[in-house]
Amino acid sequence: MRLVLKLFLGFFLITGIAAFFVMRVFVNEVKPGVRQAMESTLVDAANVLAEMAAADVKAGTIRSGSFTRNLAKARQRDLKAMVWRFPKRSLDYRVTITDAKGIVIYDSLGRDLGRDNSRWNDVYRTLRGEYGARSSPETPGEEGNTVMHVAAPVYDPADGRTLIGVLSLAQPNRSIDPFIAASQRAIIERGVWLIGLSALVGVLVTMWLTTGLGQLSRYARAVTAGEPVPPPRRRRDEIGDLGQALETMRRKLEGKAYVEQYVQSLTHEMKSPLAAIRGAAELLQEPLPEADRLHFARSIVDQQERLTETIDKLLALAEVEQHGWLQTRDRIALPALLVDAAAAAQVRAQAAGVQVRIGSVPDLQVQGDGYLLRQALHNLIDNAIAFSPGGAEVALQADAEGQGVRLQVADRGAGIPDYARERVFERFYSLARPGSGRRSSGLGLPFVQEVARLHDGRASVEHRDGGGTVASLWLPLGMPGQRPRR
């Protein structure tokens, strides 16, 4: 199971189960809560009615007195009330009054006159000076619909202490069922919305967490594949700390391996020049003709220049290779880029008797580091001049190709042998220059390849039709260093 699903399910289960149980508690508490409120209202009403009926009960005129007439008028009223979206047209109360022995002497419905209610809990407890209430089936034998009965003592109006009867006020529980059902429906609906909102929050939180983890995963895969990739975006949380820790670890590991690799390579490449310098120096200690002395002295200078060139280019290559992404991104016009590169090579070209010509260049712009691109082109032009015979021409041009542009440096030299085509981008690999037989540091083309990599481009060297070599540098027209998500 993927982490994103685990996080979502964990969050949703916690919030969903909590919401479910809270909703269940509220739903289950609605009915007893409403009935308790109804009972409290019945207590108030029963005690008020008991005071109003006391005089008629004392006089023995409860069935024909003012209490009965007024209650009958109240029951005939059309209430026309709208209680929380539910219409109410009549009174739901039923009033019964018993004497001090529990015998019914008044029933607002006229059904239980003369019946002994002294055993019913509401009357029984009230006759003994306690609070009396009960809930009984509306129809005997049926447990579905019940009626709540609340009793209040009827005292002698003369002293207000002598118990002369009990007034019992009853209201069917079904009269409040619509309110209970509506409240329960509202709680369930809001509970469903709460669970849905919890799911949405869970998705958002999961996406927020997994986005950071996904960036770290893509970063780790890119580092493993050796692709240029910027460090993870800074975040002020544990994921951000992990990203910075990974970047620090990458730099330390790459730096260690890089130093080990280049110390070995540099040591290997310095052996030949140092051996040549040592041999020439030893020979110079012996008596030699002047011409030989000049030859060996010139050899020492040449080898020193080779060492200097190797170290300088190695430092430049090392600086480029240590960048996992472009440090500078500017818009660079292609015509100006080629003109600057050609101008920088004019002195070297004139000394070699080679002409540098700029061909067709589209009026396009690339995005990247202008300094690195100029250096890369300078290396390509320098190689072309070195392998061109006197009086030859080195041609520069650019062509749109696909989603990018291809910069080309073409010469009419001897070309590259087939055995060397696969190795020209290796560090320190170099071919002998025509005429002199000298070799370069072998770091120019690796530098070009690294610059191309930083720009999400590619470098290549191919045979030229009619003889010679074409060195190409393809660059994308979009922003380099921003790879599509995988």
Domain containing 117 — which CATH number? Answer: 3.30.450.20
What's the domain range around 149?
Answer: 3-182
331-370 pLDDT tens trace: 889 899 999 888 888 888 888 888 999 988 888 888 888 8
Cβ 242 vs Cβ 216: under 8 Å: yes
CATH number at residue 421: 3.30.565.10
69 in the same domain as 152: yes
Give the range with max mean pLDDT: 53-67, 141-155, 277-291: 53-67
> What is the arithmetic mean of pLDDT over 87-97?
81
What is the distance between the alpha carbons of residues 171 and 105, in angstroms, rounded to a whole number?
19
94-110: b (≥16 Cβ within 10 Å) or e: bbbbbbbebebbbbbee
Query: Where are the alpha helices (H) located in 322-369, listed in sequence order?
Result: 334-344, 346-352
Cα torsion for 185, 186, 191, 196, to the nearest 10°? 100
Reduced to 3 states (helix: H, G, I; strand: E, B; else coil), residue 446 is helix
Q: Minimum mean pLDDT among 16-20, 266-270, 394-398, 422-426: which range? A: 266-270
439 in the same domain as 337: yes
Q: Tell me, what's the pLDDT at 3?
A: 60
57-82 pLDDT tens trace: 999 998 889 999 998 888 877 777 77
What is the distance between the alpha carbons of residues 472 and 459, in angstroms, rounded to a whole number?
6
Q: Is 478 exposed, middle or buried (0-12, 13-18, 19+ CB in 10 A)?
A: exposed
The answer as to whether 202 is a domain residue is no
307 in the same domain as 331: no
Q: What is the DSSP string of 411-454?
A: E-SS---GGGTTTTTSTT--PPPTTT-----S-HHHHHHHHHHH
What is the distance between the alpha carbons of residues 27 and 180, in angstroms, rounded to a whole number?
9
The answer as to whether 213 is a domain residue is no
316 in the same domain as 334: no
One-letter-per-residue 3-state SS of 94-125: EEEEEECCCEEEEECCCCCCCCECCCCHHHHH
Query: Where are the alpha helices (H) located in 60-176, listed in sequence order?
Result: 66-75, 121-127
The answer as to whether 23 is a domain residue is yes
What is the distance between the alpha carbons of residues 105 and 167, in angstroms, rounded to a whole number?
10
Q: Tell me, what's the pLDDT at 483?
A: 42
15 in the same domain as 119: yes
Q: Tell me, what's the pLDDT at 265?
A: 53
* Distance from chain centroid for Cα 248: 23
HSE of 175 in the Cβ direction (CA atoms, 13 Å)? 17
Final residue of a domain: which of 265, 294, 324?
A: 324
150 in the same domain as 238: no
Categorise residue 353: left if φ over 0, alpha if ψ from -120 to 50, beta otherwise: left
Q: Tell me, what's the pLDDT at 155?
A: 95
107 in the same domain as 144: yes
350 in the same domain as 285: no
Q: Tell me, what's the pLDDT at 485?
A: 33
The answer as to whether 158 is a domain residue is yes
Q: Of 116 and 320, which is predicted with more confidence?
A: 116
What is the distance between the alpha carbons of residues 345 and 340, in angstroms, rounded to a whole number?
9
| Total structural domains within the chain | 3
133 in the same domain as 9: yes
Cβ 205 vs Cβ 15: under 8 Å: no
232 in the same domain as 146: no
CATH number at residue 297: 1.10.287.130
Cβ 335 vs Cβ 464: under 8 Å: no
> What is the arithmetic mean of pLDDT over 157-174?
91
468 in the same domain as 383: yes
pTM, two decimals, is: 0.45
404 in the same domain as 296: no
Question: What's the token pair of residue 67?
Answer: 């209490």
Question: What's the token pair of residue 198?
Answer: 């919890």
